[in-house]
Amino acid sequence: MVIKLDEVVISGLTKKFDDLTAVDHIEFNVAKGSIYGLLGPNGAGKSTTIRLLCTLLRPDEGTATVSGFDIIESPVQVREITGVLPEEGNHTLYQTLSGYDNLEYFARLYDVPEDEIPGRIEELLTFMDLWERKDDPAGELSTGNRQRLALCRALLHKPKVLLLDEPTAALDPVAAKRVRKLILSFSEKYGQTFFINSHNLSEVQRMCDKIAIIDEGKILLSGDTQELRTRFKTSQDFRIRVVDDLEKAGSIAESLDFVTSLKKEADTIVVTIEDPFTNNSMLMQSLLSQGIKIVEFAEEEATLEDLYLDVIKEGGAK
Amino acid sequence: MALYKSILVAKADLKMAMKVKMVRYGLIGIGALGPITMLVTVALMVYGDPVIGVLILPSISAILAPMLGMIAIIPASMIAANALVGEKEMNTLEPLLSTPLTDRELLIGKLLSSFIPSMALLLGSILVSEIGTFIILRSVGAEFILVPGIPGLFLLLTAGPTLIVAIVSIMILISGRVKRVYEAYQTSGAVVMVFILPMMIPTMTMGAGTVDMNSVWMWNIITFLITLVIAASTWALAVRKFNRDTMISM
Ligand SMILES: Nc1ncnc2c1ncn2[C@@H]1O[C@H](COP(=O)(O)OP(=O)(O)OP(=O)(O)O)[C@@H](O)[C@H]1O
Ligand SMILES: [Mg+2]
């Protein structure tokens, strides 16, 4: 049996700002080596949770431990073993310092041994494709480059736990994908634990082993990503593009009983199907078996709103 | 508590402060202002009438020494404001506070980043004034007189550093509440006004162009004690009151 230890344990964590309870008795554990996603709309309390975990804010009630260290009792030790990408991380670099100097300063603050610093910086910058720009002032880099630089800063001291606040916000889709890939490869390579804030459901779905949904400071739902997907995804849109026979493809799809709606758009059809995890391959098979040549068969990105509605529906049904 | 960590912070702050044009030229400009005023006054006295000039030089120097200190210390508040409120304004405070730095390491680092350049400026101002005065006096064949004189040197070398500590401490205390560097720097900078005391009060004893040196000594010592009390109490309060929570809240 494999015993998975919990790297982050949050119990009853609460933070108030005057009358507002930004984080309200939240409770969950993050398994060692996993990628955990905290999902929620603006003002839900995601950033406040990360600030509590990296000891920037002091909780009003409850506590948390990071790799066994209590955030209230041992804040310095907690900061030593965590790497943080703050909200709008790309704006948190010293603009006038070069990328290299930004990293060198933080490497020293995090007690990376002096003789390992140059190698560590080179490795990370090369990995992030920033080595050529190492001497440019951080303020002159593009948003995507700055974001990756800020990510380097969080990874420099090989922290056990990474707290990333919306790592792909403000990035274009290509840059966002790249950052996601970097996070995944780091998680694989070093087995670090990642805690990621996001308001982007599809991103969290793609990266995280477990997710929790937070709103108004409260955790509405948490669990395995796969499990939640099947549990809550009752329907899903697919965008299908075919060669020539769009009409025929449409009528085939319409004849299937799990297809609940169908829209035609220029050269594609958008099909909504129930129970997508079992039915999407059925749909594709039906089309292929009747000689339709499929050019594209894409899952439409599910939005947070969809899941929300589902969560609320589920809550109401209970 | 590791001092090298504080020095790291101070070094980084200095490096960045020097990249801000306003700070760099402000430092050089303000730094030059003190000795220039001092030396122009000395030159006017000595070249005007060497005999009388040399006679009243110690008194003039006693009154101008606090001015020299005031001018040299003003940049301390500029740098301290940049180092604390500036980091907040530039969004770099959050990552800095997320590092393993302890409160004390951070605060001492921030203290050093203002203390080092301000002390350098103060010592530089004194040195330039003394050397300039020496040259001026030599050129008329007069005997050397220290400008600033011994009482002035006492004031600058005791009250000077304590005042810098007071300025940085006040900056730490207000940094959770102010948003803009400019605001912060004006508020904490106001403390240098205590140097008005040794500048103004002894002039009341002025007669025949000279001041009573006992009064100069007394007010210099009183000023030092005042700065000592302000520095000790504000620093203690800054260390005790400091918390990351208020530093990053809006
Ligand atoms: N320092 C603070 N002082 C007062 N209120 C705050 C402070 N920080 C956060 N809040 C409030 O707490 C609530 C939660 O904020 P938080 O930044 O954690 O939300 P979030 O989930 O990160 O939102 P976003 O997606 O917009 O980043 C918000 O209503 C916010 O206005
Ligand atoms: Mg946020």
pLDDT band at A318 (very low <50, low <70, confident <90, very high): very low
Q: Rounded distance, CA A67 to CA A52, Å? A: 15
- Residue range B41-71, pLDDT digits in tens: 999 989 988 888 888 899 888 889 999 999 8
A210 lines ligand 1 (CB under 6 A): no
Over residues B170-192, the mean pLDDT reads 82
Say yes or no to pLDDT of B188 above 90. no
Residue A218 Cβ contacting ligand 1 at under 6 Å: no
Q: Report the predicted TM-score, pTM, of the whole model to 2 decimal places.
A: 0.84
pLDDT of residue A316: 40
For chain A, percent of residues with pLDDT exceeding 70: 91
Q: Which residue of B has its CA nearest to A150?
A: B95
The answer, yes or no, to whether residue A2 has pLDDT greater than 60, is no
Torsion sign (Cα): B31, B34, B40, B42: negative
Q: Which helix (H) or strand (E) holds A69?
A: strand A69-70
Position with higher pLDDT, A91 vs B181: A91
Confidence (pLDDT) at B137: 93
- In degrees, to the nearest 5, what angle opens at C-alpha B97 toward C-alphas B242 and A56? 75
Whether the pLDDT of residue A302 is over 70: the answer is no
Compare CB distances from B100 to A96, A101, A110 and report the shortest one's residue. A110
- Residue having the nearest C-alpha atom to atom 1 of ligand 1: B249
Q: Is the peptide bond before B148 cis (omega within 30 degrees of 0)?
A: yes
CA B249 to ligand 2 centroid distance, Å: 13
Cα A192 from chain centroid (whole Å): 15
Indicate yes or no: CB of A82 within 8 angstroms of CB of B248: no
Complex ipTM above 0.85?
yes
Out of A212-221, A237-246, A305-314, which region has the weakest mean confidence (pLDDT)? A305-314
Per-residue confidence (pLDDT) for residue B102, from 0 to 100: 93
B226-245: pLDDT as tens digits: 999 999 999 999 999 888 88
Label residue A202 exposed, middle or buried (CB < 10 Å: 0-12, 13-18, 19+). middle
Q: Find the farthest-apart pair of alpha carbons in chain A and give their distance in angstroms, rounded.
A: 68
Atom from ligand 1 closest to the CA of residue A46: 21
For residues B181 and B85, the answer to whether their CB atoms sit within 8 Å is yes
Whole-angstrom distance, CA of residue B72 vs CA of residue B80: 14
Of these ranges, A288-297, B81-90, B133-142, B241-250, the one predicted with the greatest mean pLDDT is B133-142
pLDDT band at A317 (very low <50, low <70, confident <90, very high): very low
Domains and CATH numbers, chain A: 6-230 (3.40.50.300), 234-301 (3.30.70.100)
* Rounded mean pLDDT, A236-251: 85
Q: Chain A contact for B7, CB < 8 A?
A: no
Residue B91 in contact with partner chain A when CB distance is under 8 A: yes
b/e per residue, B11-21, with b = 16+ CB within 10 A?
bbbbebbeebe
Query: Which of A17, A111, A150 is opposite residue B100, by nearest beta carbon?
Result: A111
Instruction: Find the ligand nearest to B247 CA.
Output: 1
Name the residue with tokens 């005023």: B37
Contact A17 B249 (CB under 8 A): yes
Would the pLDDT of A311 be above 90? no
Summary mean pLDDT of chain B? 89
Q: What is the pLDDT of residues B209-231, one digit of tens each?
A: 788 899 999 999 999 999 999 99
Whole-number percent of chain A with pLDDT over 90 = 53
Whether residue A79 and residue B99 make contact (CB cut-off 8 A), yes or no, is: yes
Render pLDDT for A175-193 as a digit per residue (tens, 0 to 9).
Answer: 888 889 889 988 888 889 9
pLDDT at A305: 59
- Report the pLDDT value the prediction gives residue A234, as an integer from 0 to 100: 64
CB A213 within 8 A of CB A307: yes
The answer, yes or no, to whether residue A88 has pLDDT greater than 50, is: yes
- In sequence order, the β-bridge partners of residue A66 are A8, A69
Contacts of residue A210, defined as CB under 8 A and 6 or more positions apart, other chains included, come to A30, A31, A34, A35, A36, A37, A222, A223, A224, A225
* Range A3-23 burial, b when 16+ CB lie within 10 A, else e: eeebbbbbeebbbeeeeebbb
A40 Cβ inside 6 Å of ligand 1: yes
What integer is the mean pLDDT of A142-165?
95
**CB pairs < 8 Å spanning A and B:** 71
More confident site: B247 or A270: A270
Contact A91 B91 (CB under 8 A): yes
Residues A275/A231, Cβ–Cβ less than 8 Å: no
- pLDDT value at position A315? 47
On whether any CB of chain B is under 8 Å from the CB of A185, the answer is no
Predicted local confidence at residue A27, as pLDDT: 94
Report, as an integer, the average pLDDT of A221-225.
86
Ligand 1 centroid to Cα of residue B43, in Å, is 62
pLDDT mean over B153-162: 96
Q: Do A86 and B98 touch (CB under 8 A)?
A: yes
Q: Is A218 helix (H, G, I), strand (E, B) or coil?
A: strand
The bound ligand whose nearest atom lies closest to the alpha carbon of A214 is: 1
A37-53 confidence digits (pLDDT tens): 999 888 999 999 999 99
Q: What is the pLDDT of residue A87?
A: 94
Is residue B144's pLDDT more than 80?
Answer: yes
Find, among A307, A301, A288, A204, the residue nearest to A249 by Cα. A288
Q: Quick one: which atom of ligand 1 is closest to the CA of A41?
A: 25
Determine contact, residues A152/A125, Cβ cutoff 8 Å.
yes
Contact B15 A97 (CB under 8 A): yes
Interface membership of B250 toward A (CB under 8 Å): no
* Ligand number, closest to the Cα atom of A87: 2
- Domains of chain B, by residue range, sit at 7-249
The reported pLDDT for the residue numbered A232 is 63
